[in-house]
């Protein structure tokens, strides 16, 4: 017996398509939301790029800027300062003994005359690391007019510092004796007095090893007694 199949026809349900109702309102909302999200990430990316660029600029500026490197200095009981290297502390309490030692060394280097021209040259070179830039041309003019190299081999001059007394805040009165000995001659003694003006300032990298405390001679005037 043949089978009989019944067919059933269902009417469409009254459900509307949200992408076609209300002028594609739902689809438009999705597009707007996606555009907002995309724009938000674009702004975040632009902000990251700008911050990275600013950090790069500050990094380059920091590398190009000259920085002051603190150093470790040991002041001996005699007043001599020894450069020991870099440290993290920037403040230095310079004792009076160190200033007096520096003045003594400055006058000895400037006024003494050795029988060895190389020793004299080293003394003069060290003297320039002990003075300020404003006093440098004055000292240069004096040495050109009174060159100690002209008497090397003929006269030997030694210095005996007698006293160093502070007269004002930065000035010191120095009394010393110069003993000059000529070839096959008798020694002669000459007492001298000078006024030394000192300035304390950070040393340059080129002079920090020879002048670690930054004690500089700003002016020096002397005469016979």
- Total domains, the chain: 2
The H-or-E segment that residue 157 falls in is strand 155-166
Condensed to tens digits (0 to 9), the pLDDT of residues 140-197 reads 999 999 999 998 888 999 999 999 999 988 899 999 999 999 877 788 999 999 999 9
Same domain (yes/no): 104, 206: yes
The CATH number linked to 126 is 3.10.450.230
Same domain (yes/no): 46, 131: no
Q: Is the pTM of this model over 0.85?
A: no
Same domain (yes/no): 54, 109: no
Residues 6+ apart with CB under 8 A from 94: 75, 200, 213, 214, 215
Domain-embedded: residue 87: no
Report the DSSP beta bridge partners of residue 190.
Answer: 178
Range of the domain at 118: 93-224
Same domain (yes/no): 220, 110: yes
Q: Retrieve residue 74's tokens.
A: 């040991």
Residues 6+ apart with CB under 8 A from 165: 172, 173, 174
Same domain (yes/no): 135, 49: no
Give the mean pLDDT of 42-68: 72
Domain-embedded: residue 159: yes
**pLDDT, position 181:** 92
Same domain (yes/no): 35, 100: no
Domain-embedded: residue 85: no
Same domain (yes/no): 218, 107: yes
Domain-embedded: residue 31: yes
Same domain (yes/no): 216, 108: yes
Same domain (yes/no): 98, 44: no
Alpha carbon 175 to its chain's center: 36
Give the mean pLDDT of the chain: 80
Domain-embedded: residue 111: yes
Give the mean pLDDT of 31-49: 76
70 vs 129, which has greater pLDDT? 129
Domain-embedded: residue 3: no
């Amino acid at each position: 017996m043949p089978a009989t199949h019944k067919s059933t026809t269902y009417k469409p349900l009254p459900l509307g398509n949200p992408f076609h109702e209300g002028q594609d309102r739902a689809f438009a909302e999705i597009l707007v939301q996606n555009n907002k999200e995309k724009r938000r990430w674009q702004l975040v990316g632009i902000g990251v790029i700008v911050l990275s660029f600013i950090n790069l600029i500050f990094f380059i500026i920091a590398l190009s800027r000259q920085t002051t490197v603190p150093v470790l200095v040991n002041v001996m009981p005699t007043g001599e300062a020894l450069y020991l290297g870099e440290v993290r502390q920037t403040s230095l309490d310079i004792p009076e003994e160190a200033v007096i030692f520096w003045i003594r060394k400055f006058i000895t280097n400037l006024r003494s005359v050795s029988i060895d021209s190389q020793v004299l040259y080293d003394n003069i070179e060290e003297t320039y690391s002990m003075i300020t830039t404003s006093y440098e041309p004055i000292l240069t003019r004096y040495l050109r007019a009174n060159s100690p190299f002209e008497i090397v081999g003929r006269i030997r001059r030694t210095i005996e510092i007698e006293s160093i007394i502070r007269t004002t805040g930065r000035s010191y009165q120095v009394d010393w004796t110069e003993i000059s000995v000529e070839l096959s001659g008798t020694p002669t003694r000459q007492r001298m007095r000078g006024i030394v003006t000192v300035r304390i300032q950070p040393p340059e990298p080129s002079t920090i090893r020879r002048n670690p405390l930054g004690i500089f001679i700003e002016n020096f005037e002397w005469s016979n007694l």
